[in-house]
Structure 1
Amino acid sequence: MKKILSTMAVLAVIGSAVPAHAADKKLVLPFAGALADNGAKERLGDSIAFYYGAQKTPKVLEKRGSDQTSQKTNAFSKTDTAVCHWAFLSAMLALQKRAQEVGANAVINITSNYKNVTYSSETDFECHVGNIVGGVALKGDFVRLADGKK
């Protein structure tokens, strides 16, 4: 019994030494890299056009709303880049699905929106990775463009 109690005491001391909060690393990665991974281009197809940050678009005929998505993925035993690319694809698929639901042919002004803090870029997105989970939050505007193709 004494051995069990001393083992429990040692474990309690070790457990209290571990920080209570998870790591939260901010990464800024290129859209191009994420779109080249996990079959992203094929999975997204070309039925909905995507425009990042302030990229120039064809004439907007009609705005169909705005929305945001926050997608998480398991970070255990994966590289930060792999986690971010997977979460990015999940977020893009969510935006694509919403665009289709509202009858849009494009999502424009796509920006990162982690904890409601906007990061806008025509080339990069923001991702946050912790010890267990990583995530990407995006927002965008759903529109009908005069020419839905890039």
Structure 2
Amino acid sequence: MADSKRPRVVGFNHVALEVGDIEEALVFYGQLFEFELRGKSANMAFIDLGDQFIALQKGRKQAPDDGRHFGLVVDDKEAARQALKAAGVEMLPGPFLDFRDPWGNRVEIVGYDNIQFTKAPNVLRGMRLERLTKNENARKELAEKGMAVE
């Protein structure tokens, strides 16, 4: 059998998150995070994340998520913690900053300084985030992949 070339995954375009109501989801996430609304219809809303986005989709029917989750990267993890607290959102036990939204979607909050990916300078400029930095561990992980950052 001949080897066929397989495409390499290079990133995420978006994540579709099922919610019960689009307007309620925009209010909920809007009290936690600053975001740009790309577009909206009766059954969908699109929140920009720089060069990616989250699609909020009406129609959540399944039970709350436990292990299944997605991670949102923020510029200030402590500010996210305070926003969650101020909104009365219960944080889940464990070593991470995890919570469930009102529809049972499990979300993990991760600080940009502590992750091993980086946004291109033009994307950071477009997001007005040129001053974001990486901690030593993240810089080391990036350097090991040939992606050193200043």
Please report the TM-score for the alignment, with normalisation by the length of structure 1.
0.22
More helix by share: 1
Structure with the bigger percentage of strand:
1
Q: Which has the larger radius of gyration?
A: 1
